[in-house]
Chains A and B, each alone.
Chain A
Protein backbone atom coordinates (compact mmCIF):
# COMPACT_ATOMS: atom_id res chain seq x y z
CA UNK A 1 0.00 0.00 0.00
CA UNK A 2 1.22 3.48 -0.84
CA UNK A 3 -0.25 5.13 2.30
CA UNK A 4 -0.12 8.91 1.88
CA UNK A 5 1.29 10.23 -1.39
CA UNK A 6 2.33 13.84 -1.89
CA UNK A 7 3.24 15.62 -5.10
CA UNK A 8 5.47 17.32 -6.02
CA UNK A 9 8.40 16.35 -3.80
CA UNK A 10 10.31 19.51 -4.65
CA UNK A 11 9.24 22.87 -6.04
CA UNK A 12 10.88 26.24 -6.51
CA UNK A 13 8.63 29.27 -6.95
CA UNK A 14 9.14 32.96 -7.41
CA UNK A 15 7.42 35.41 -5.08
CA UNK A 16 3.83 35.96 -6.19
CA UNK A 17 3.48 32.70 -8.11
CA UNK A 18 0.77 30.22 -7.21
CA UNK A 19 0.86 26.47 -6.86
CA UNK A 20 -1.05 23.54 -5.46
CA UNK A 21 0.34 20.69 -3.39
CA UNK A 22 -1.52 17.46 -3.92
CA UNK A 23 -2.13 14.74 -1.35
CA UNK A 24 -3.88 11.40 -1.68
CA UNK A 25 -4.36 8.52 0.75
CA UNK A 26 -5.43 4.97 0.01
CA UNK A 27 -6.25 3.83 3.56
CA UNK A 28 -9.93 4.87 3.50
CA UNK A 29 -9.20 7.40 6.24
CA UNK A 30 -11.81 10.04 7.01
CA UNK A 31 -9.55 12.84 8.24
CA UNK A 32 -6.68 14.63 6.53
CA UNK A 33 -4.22 17.33 7.58
CA UNK A 34 -1.61 19.72 6.23
CA UNK A 35 1.38 20.66 8.38
CA UNK A 36 4.45 22.73 7.68
CA UNK A 37 7.85 21.98 9.20
CA UNK A 38 10.44 24.68 9.78
CA UNK A 39 13.81 24.33 11.56
CA UNK A 40 13.43 24.71 15.30
CA UNK A 41 9.65 25.11 15.04
CA UNK A 42 8.48 21.52 14.87
CA UNK A 43 5.34 20.86 12.85
CA UNK A 44 2.55 23.41 12.75
CA UNK A 45 -0.96 22.66 11.56
CA UNK A 46 -2.13 24.70 8.57
CA UNK A 47 -5.56 23.22 7.79
CA UNK A 48 -7.39 20.00 8.44
CA UNK A 49 -10.42 18.18 7.16
CA UNK A 50 -12.15 16.06 9.75
CA UNK A 51 -14.36 14.43 7.13
CA UNK A 52 -15.22 14.74 3.46
CA UNK A 53 -16.99 18.04 2.95
CA UNK A 54 -15.46 19.89 5.91
CA UNK A 55 -12.29 21.94 6.31
CA UNK A 56 -11.05 24.00 9.25
CA UNK A 57 -8.16 26.32 9.99
CA UNK A 58 -5.24 25.23 12.08
CA UNK A 59 -2.54 27.24 13.77
CA UNK A 60 -1.01 28.94 10.70
CA UNK A 61 -3.65 29.19 7.90
CA UNK A 62 -2.82 32.65 6.50
CA UNK A 63 -1.73 32.57 2.87
CA UNK A 64 -3.14 29.11 2.22
CA UNK A 65 -6.34 27.55 0.96
CA UNK A 66 -7.39 23.91 0.92
CA UNK A 67 -9.80 21.71 -0.93
CA UNK A 68 -11.07 18.31 0.16
CA UNK A 69 -11.71 17.01 -3.34
CA UNK A 70 -13.11 13.65 -2.20
CA UNK A 71 -12.43 11.19 0.59
CA UNK A 72 -8.98 10.33 -0.79
CA UNK A 73 -7.61 13.74 -1.79
CA UNK A 74 -6.79 16.94 0.08
CA UNK A 75 -4.95 19.74 -1.71
CA UNK A 76 -3.14 22.80 -0.37
CA UNK A 77 -2.95 25.95 -2.49
CA UNK A 78 -0.67 28.93 -2.23
CA UNK A 79 -2.32 31.75 -4.16
CA UNK A 80 0.57 34.23 -4.04
CA UNK A 81 3.69 32.62 -2.65
CA UNK A 82 5.95 34.53 -0.25
CA UNK A 83 9.48 33.72 0.94
CA UNK A 84 8.04 33.09 4.42
CA UNK A 85 6.25 30.08 2.95
CA UNK A 86 9.54 28.36 2.20
CA UNK A 87 9.15 25.16 4.17
CA UNK A 88 8.64 21.42 4.07
CA UNK A 89 4.97 20.56 3.85
CA UNK A 90 3.54 17.31 5.17
CA UNK A 91 0.17 15.82 4.49
CA UNK A 92 -1.22 13.32 6.98
CA UNK A 93 -4.36 11.28 7.45
CA UNK A 94 -6.12 9.51 10.31
CA UNK A 95 -8.92 7.00 10.45
CA UNK A 96 -11.20 9.46 12.20
CA UNK A 97 -10.88 12.73 14.05
CA UNK A 98 -12.08 12.13 17.56
CA UNK A 99 -13.82 14.89 19.42
CA UNK A 100 -11.03 14.23 21.87
CA UNK A 101 -8.90 11.16 21.54
CA UNK A 102 -5.85 9.40 20.26
CA UNK A 103 -5.78 10.32 16.61
CA UNK A 104 -2.97 8.32 15.04
CA UNK A 105 -1.64 10.18 12.02
CA UNK A 106 0.02 8.60 9.01
CA UNK A 107 2.32 11.01 7.21
CA UNK A 108 3.43 11.45 3.63
CA UNK A 109 7.09 11.87 2.72
CA UNK A 110 6.85 15.65 2.44
CA UNK A 111 7.06 18.36 -0.22
CA UNK A 112 9.98 20.76 -0.05
CA UNK A 113 8.99 24.22 -1.29
CA UNK A 114 11.38 27.11 -1.84
CA UNK A 115 10.05 30.59 -2.61
CA UNK A 116 12.60 33.01 -4.02
Chain B
Protein backbone atom coordinates (compact mmCIF):
# COMPACT_ATOMS: atom_id res chain seq x y z
CA UNK B 1 0.00 0.00 0.00
CA UNK B 2 1.15 3.51 -0.74
CA UNK B 3 2.32 5.70 2.15
CA UNK B 4 4.51 8.70 2.92
CA UNK B 5 6.88 9.39 5.78
CA UNK B 6 7.92 12.89 6.75
CA UNK B 7 11.23 13.14 8.56
CA UNK B 8 11.24 15.68 11.36
CA UNK B 9 8.12 16.96 13.09
CA UNK B 10 9.72 20.40 13.44
CA UNK B 11 12.29 22.23 11.31
CA UNK B 12 13.76 25.59 12.32
CA UNK B 13 15.50 27.96 9.91
CA UNK B 14 16.57 31.57 9.91
CA UNK B 15 14.99 34.05 7.55
CA UNK B 16 16.88 33.89 4.25
CA UNK B 17 18.17 30.36 4.82
CA UNK B 18 17.46 27.30 2.70
CA UNK B 19 14.30 25.37 3.54
CA UNK B 20 14.42 21.58 3.18
CA UNK B 21 11.47 19.45 4.27
CA UNK B 22 11.85 15.73 3.77
CA UNK B 23 9.31 13.23 2.46
CA UNK B 24 9.87 9.62 1.50
CA UNK B 25 7.23 7.51 -0.15
CA UNK B 26 6.41 3.85 -0.41
CA UNK B 27 4.53 2.72 -3.48
CA UNK B 28 4.30 -0.38 -5.62
CA UNK B 29 3.03 1.68 -8.55
CA UNK B 30 4.17 5.02 -9.99
CA UNK B 31 3.11 7.48 -7.30
CA UNK B 32 1.15 10.70 -7.47
CA UNK B 33 2.64 12.95 -4.78
CA UNK B 34 1.63 16.26 -3.28
CA UNK B 35 2.75 18.92 -0.84
CA UNK B 36 0.15 20.90 1.07
CA UNK B 37 0.64 23.82 3.48
CA UNK B 38 -1.50 24.71 6.48
CA UNK B 39 -1.27 28.17 7.99
CA UNK B 40 -2.49 28.61 11.59
CA UNK B 41 -6.22 28.08 12.01
CA UNK B 42 -6.76 27.46 8.30
CA UNK B 43 -7.40 24.55 6.01
CA UNK B 44 -4.78 22.95 3.77
CA UNK B 45 -3.71 24.55 0.51
CA UNK B 46 -1.99 22.80 -2.39
CA UNK B 47 1.65 23.83 -2.87
CA UNK B 48 2.54 21.50 -5.72
CA UNK B 49 1.92 18.06 -7.18
CA UNK B 50 3.93 15.42 -9.01
CA UNK B 51 2.18 13.53 -11.77
CA UNK B 52 5.19 12.08 -13.64
CA UNK B 53 5.34 14.85 -16.25
CA UNK B 54 8.62 16.25 -14.83
CA UNK B 55 10.79 15.24 -11.90
CA UNK B 56 11.33 18.83 -10.73
CA UNK B 57 8.02 20.41 -9.82
CA UNK B 58 7.59 24.10 -9.13
CA UNK B 59 4.85 25.30 -6.84
CA UNK B 60 3.52 28.47 -5.33
CA UNK B 61 5.46 30.91 -3.14
CA UNK B 62 8.86 29.85 -4.52
CA UNK B 63 8.69 26.24 -3.35
CA UNK B 64 9.75 23.31 -5.46
CA UNK B 65 10.15 19.57 -5.02
CA UNK B 66 12.18 16.96 -6.84
CA UNK B 67 10.97 13.42 -7.41
CA UNK B 68 13.82 10.93 -7.01
CA UNK B 69 12.77 7.38 -7.75
CA UNK B 70 16.11 5.88 -6.73
CA UNK B 71 15.77 7.43 -3.29
CA UNK B 72 11.95 7.15 -3.08
CA UNK B 73 11.95 10.78 -2.04
CA UNK B 74 9.98 13.93 -2.80
CA UNK B 75 11.65 16.60 -0.67
CA UNK B 76 10.34 20.16 -0.60
CA UNK B 77 12.79 23.07 -0.90
CA UNK B 78 12.87 26.84 -1.02
CA UNK B 79 16.12 28.76 -1.53
CA UNK B 80 15.39 31.55 0.92
CA UNK B 81 12.94 31.35 3.80
CA UNK B 82 10.57 34.17 4.59
CA UNK B 83 8.79 34.78 7.85
CA UNK B 84 5.48 34.17 6.07
CA UNK B 85 6.56 30.58 5.30
CA UNK B 86 6.06 29.58 8.93
CA UNK B 87 3.35 26.92 8.74
CA UNK B 88 2.81 23.19 8.84
CA UNK B 89 3.62 21.25 5.68
CA UNK B 90 2.13 17.93 4.68
CA UNK B 91 3.32 15.43 2.10
CA UNK B 92 0.60 13.24 0.59
CA UNK B 93 0.27 10.32 -1.82
CA UNK B 94 -2.66 9.11 -3.89
CA UNK B 95 -3.86 5.69 -2.70
CA UNK B 96 -6.17 3.29 -4.49
CA UNK B 97 -9.14 2.17 -2.41
CA UNK B 98 -11.18 -1.05 -2.49
CA UNK B 99 -14.06 1.00 -3.88
CA UNK B 100 -12.08 1.48 -7.07
CA UNK B 101 -11.44 5.16 -6.42
CA UNK B 102 -8.34 6.87 -5.08
CA UNK B 103 -7.96 9.11 -2.07
CA UNK B 104 -5.08 11.04 -0.51
CA UNK B 105 -3.07 9.68 2.41
CA UNK B 106 -1.12 12.32 4.33
CA UNK B 107 2.10 12.27 6.26
CA UNK B 108 2.17 13.42 9.88
CA UNK B 109 3.33 16.89 8.97
CA UNK B 110 6.39 19.07 9.54
CA UNK B 111 6.10 22.38 11.34
CA UNK B 112 8.40 24.99 9.79
CA UNK B 113 9.59 27.66 12.20
CA UNK B 114 11.29 30.76 10.76
CA UNK B 115 13.29 33.06 13.02
CA UNK B 116 14.38 36.62 12.19
| Residues of A participating in the B interface, judged by any CB pair closer than 8 Å | 4, 31, 33, 35, 40-45, 48, 50, 54, 56, 58-59, 90, 92, 97-110
Contacts and interface: CB of A to CB of B under 8 A. Distances in A.
A45 B106 CA distance: 9
Contacts of B100: 99
A107 B45 contact: yes
Given A4-B43, A107-B44, A108-B43, A43 B102 contact: no
Contacts of A110: 41-43
B52 to A, nearest CB: 9
Contacts of A103: 32, 94, 102-104
29 contacts: A33-B103, A35-B106, A40-B108, A43-B90, A43-B106, A44-B106, A45-B103, A48-B101, A50-B99, A50-B101, A59-B105, A90-B44, A97-B101, A97-B102, A98-B94, A100-B32, A101-B102, A103-B32, A103-B94, A103-B102, A103-B103, A105-B46, A105-B104, A107-B44, A107-B45, A108-B43, A109-B41, A109-B42, A110-B41
A101 B32 contact: yes
B9 interface: yes
Nearest to A55: B99
Contacts of A42: 90, 106-109
B12 interface: no
Interface in B1-57: 9, 29, 32, 34, 41-46, 49, 51
A103 B34 CA distance: 10
